[in-house]
Structures are given as C-alpha cells and as structure tokens.
Chain A
Amino acid sequence: MTEGRPGERLRVAIVDDEELARRLLREYLAAHPDVEIVAECANGFEAVQAVAEKEPDLLLLDVQMPKLDGFEVLELLERDVPVIFVTAYDEYAVRAFDVHAVDYLLKPVAPERLAEALARARARAAGVPRRPLPLAEIRAAAHAAPRPLERILVRDGSRVHVILVDRLDYAEARDDYVCLRSGGKEFLKHQALAELEGQLDPARFVRIHRGYLLNLDRLAKIELYAKDSRVAVLSDGTQLPLSRAGYARLRELS
C-alpha cells in the first residue's frame, strides 16, 4: 500500500479533538509502514506546540476544534508544514485550497482517500523543493470568513494568546511588529499595523496616528496641548498622539 521510498519516513501529526477520530486515522495510518505518528493533539494549542517541538512532515488537521480552529493553527505556524484537512464540513474546501492544503478529506474518512492524500504529500515532499511559507496568503485566507476579526491570535514561543477584539485597547506599530495593548498587558505580534487595521471593524478601530490604532470605546477625551497639536486620552488615562489626519478621521466618525 505504501509508495514511500525506502528510508524516507513520513512523520505525521494528527490533530483532532475527538479521540475516536484520532483512533480511526491511527488505524488507517498503520497500513502505511513509512508513516510515523510523532504527535497526537486534541486541540489547536497542542498542535502549535507539537509542530514547534516535533517538526512533523505532515499535519492531519481537523477544522472545528476548541480554542484554535485548523486555520488559526496554520496562521500561527512558522514553518511550512504540508496539511491534509480532515473534517465533516465541506464548506472550508475553498479556504483549504487557498492555504495550499495537500488534500481535503471529508468525514467519514475512506482509507483509499487517505492513501491518495498521503501519496500526494509524499510526492510534494520528494519533488518540489520547499518554498517559503506564504504567510500573508495564509493569513488572508485564515480570515477570509469571519470579517471583521473578532479575536487576535498571538504566538509567544510555544504558547498562544487569544485577545478578544472587544478587549483590545489599542495597537502600536513597532518596526515589523504590532504591540497589542489589552487590559494593561502587552502582546507582540509579527504583523504590519496596516494589515491589522484592514482586518478590524473600521467603525470601531481608528488609525489616530501613523503608529497607533485605537479602539474607539476606550477614547475618553481629546486634549489640545499645543497649537494644532492634540492627544487622545483613554479612559485609563493613557495618552496617545493624535495626528491631524487621525483627528480628521475621528471627527468624521462622530
């Protein structure tokens, strides 16, 4: 049943929150001697951690899972890991294609379909040299559906923070990163401020300055501190610079 070349092992991580679904994949994979299961994860957090630690060659990834869904897991990965989606939902197929999934298997899974998908993964591993992960595309696809964004995911080593957009006070541009301020805590995310701005609800988040994106709910008042120069004062007392263009945008919204 295996088409793997001798010595070429395929190191696989199974990610599914249902024990029985993992068991089924385990059983099917046992028929492929070149496949080695290096990790079994019951949720997205575990998957992100397992990819970092075990560096699998292939992810068998469910979409609907606690904490992080399959697409969010991909967004947080920093390595280009080939993925086979395994889900009962057919509506994610287009998004899966957009993130360059190797294959898309529907539950209940047929062993022949899994074998086909594995063959495709082996061909990809053997043939095309690894191209860099198309991070921007993956991010765009990951957020293709729920727009505007409701939660922001931040990776911190092997940990993942989930910041609800409601709780985000403001975001500040810092070189290649954005610094997200939420309830007195700071989170650094590798993303451009303009990209984040595009993902958030423009009626709630306003670019008040080249370097600052503000949650309007947090704005307490605007103070004039010099001629033609203003600061935005947040409800917790934080002061943020307010550019002329930013002031104009705020006035447009109010």
Chain B
Amino acid sequence: MQFASIFNCRMLAVLIVFFAACKKDKVSGVDAAILQPVVEKLSRAYVQAGEKVTVYGRNLSQGSLQTEVTINGRVAEIVGITSDSIEVRVPSKVSTGQVLVTVSLGDRFKSGYGPSIEVKPTPHIKNFWPLYAYGGDEVILRVENFSRDNAENRIVLNGEPLAITGGNGSDTILVRLPAGAVTGVLRWNSYSGPVQEMDSAFRVRQASYPVATVGEWLRVDPAFSLMDTLVRGYPQLAGSNYDIYAPIYNTALGYINEASRTYTIFLPADEAYYRNGIYLNKFIENIKGKPYAYHGPLAAAILPDVQLSIGDIHGGDEYNTLYSEQLVYYPLGDPTHVLKMQVSEVGGEKYVNFLGIWGETNPPVKILREHTVGNARIIETDGDMGIIYF
C-alpha cells in the first residue's frame, strides 16, 4: 500500500509535467513585454521642418526596447525621451500628417497613432534684386513659403532685422536695408520656425572706401565686380595675343592703379550687365572670346587731366578720352584723332556716348552717380558704351 501511494505520487508528478507541457506557444513573453504606446497630445499644432515638437503619452519609452516616431510616415529624430514624453526634430521634406510612435523589439512591435500635426513648408529666399544695394535702399526678395502675414516673417542681415515694406509673402517680399548696413548673410524664418540662411552674402555698398586708387575701389565696391575682373584679369583672359593688346591696356592701368593721377573714368556698374543676363562666367567668356574688344573701351573710359563731377558736365559737352589713333598705332597714328566723349541730357538725366572719326556709339548710356578716389573720379554708368575703333 505504501508502494502504491508512492507510485501514485510519482505518476501524478509525471502527469502534471505532461499537461503543463501542453500549454503550447500562445503566451509570448516578448509580446507581453511590449506595452501599448499611447499618444495623448502634442506640444504644437503646427511646425516647420527642423523644429522640435514634444509628443506626450504613455509607454513611449520602455527600457531597452526601441522607440521610433514618424510624422506622416517620415522618421523623426528623437532628441529627448522619457516614458511619457518624446521630443523629436521635425524632419525635412515632410508634409502634414499623423504622428505615430512605435515601440519594438526585433520584429515585434506595438504602435500608437497620435493627432495630426500641420507641417508648414519651409520658407525660402530664391533670389533678390538688385544684387547689391546701399544702406537705406529697398531690395526685392523673391520668396516661397513665407507667411502671407508679414508679421509672421523675420528677415535679418548681420543679425539686424530688415523692415518689411511690402510684398505678398507668396512670391515677393520688399525689405529696406538699415542705413548702416554692411555686406553680410541674409537669414530668415517664419512663424517660430528654424532660421534659414543664404549660402552667399548680400553685398552692401558703402558711400566711400579708404582706398587710394580706382583699381582698389573696384576691388571693394560690389557694383564693380565685373570691371574689377576686367582690370585685374585681362592679361590672363586675353590669352596668347595679350602682347598685342598690352600697350593700350597698360596705358589705362597707368591711370587706374596710380594714386597721383588726375582723371575721370566712366565705368558701367554690374547691374547693367546682369539685366542682360551677363553674369561673371558669361562676362569672362566674352572677354576670352573677343579680348580685342575690351582693352580699348578701358582706355576710352578715361578722360585725362580732369576730375569732373556730374554737376560739371552738361548736354553738348565733349571731352577728349585717352583712346587715340596714336595710342592704337603707336607711333604711327595721328595724335589729333582722339575718341571724344559727348554728353547729352534728356528729361533731366545725363547721358554719354563716344564720338569718333568713323561715327558714334549708340545708344548713349545714363549717368548714375559719382565716386571720388583721391584726384580721380569714377562716374558710374548704367551700361557699357562700346567703342568706335580707329
């Protein structure tokens, strides 16, 4: 009987083991370990790419399990996490949509949808006009994705806010530069979004520069970057024929790079070229293609021995330029054959063109402003005058 009792106990133990083994796989320790993440609210109703937003809820962080957050399917970088909140950075190129939090371990996961969040597009300044300006000038910004309410837009130059004077926010914003503005990087944001910036500087002109020669002025005044390229780059751009052109070019340089000379030089500002689609690369190609067409105008732009002001010149005036037949065909040319610069006035504006023995250049170009450099004066024109050859 004692044996039977012991036997029964052993059998019972074996049976318990067998039946316990029959509980199959349904209960998964891993599944049970992932708690359902619940998203309850967001810290923001709308955001822009690059901004941070906090997701509030429960079971958002679960020990060693992986938590991922998407906004409308786009994975957002997690910058801070606790069990009941996750701070994420809104990814770029994401559009309005639902926030989803997923907690996973290997290929097992549980997800919880949150509210939809409005993603406002990132504001962008595509370009501006003019490409340089003085302090106090108005500049047109061509934009996209700015708020139509200009109170929501912020544009700064060197950290100083620019006054928004007009535009519609959808494609154009007008700003006025501060009086004391200097060249710097434009930065902007709309709403409370992250600050964006241009990859190149906005160039601000100054009324005067501490330089001694016209050549130095051309280097520092952003309105004359193309003329600076011509003056400094011509020998290389002219290529193998440079020796032929060098006498005329060097004669002009004898004024441009000399501090003691008295003269007046008429030079076109970059803007006139830009309006015709001639930017730096195109300008360089033009010089390389026709180097013979660029040394003469440089000499013709110079009126030797006079430091003229705009107020000094009047319609009907004629001035001898540095460009003469003798300079071109030295020493054979007739020294009395000199290209003249003539002045005309239309509607209160002053214009200049060249008058030569074979005709004159047309149309005359408008005079814009003047700059004094020592004994020299730069008269800034709204275009290239061309040349009349000998």
Decide whether A and B assemble into one complex.
no
Residues of A that sit less than 8 Å from B by CB: none
Q: Which residues of B contact A (CB under 8 A)?
A: none
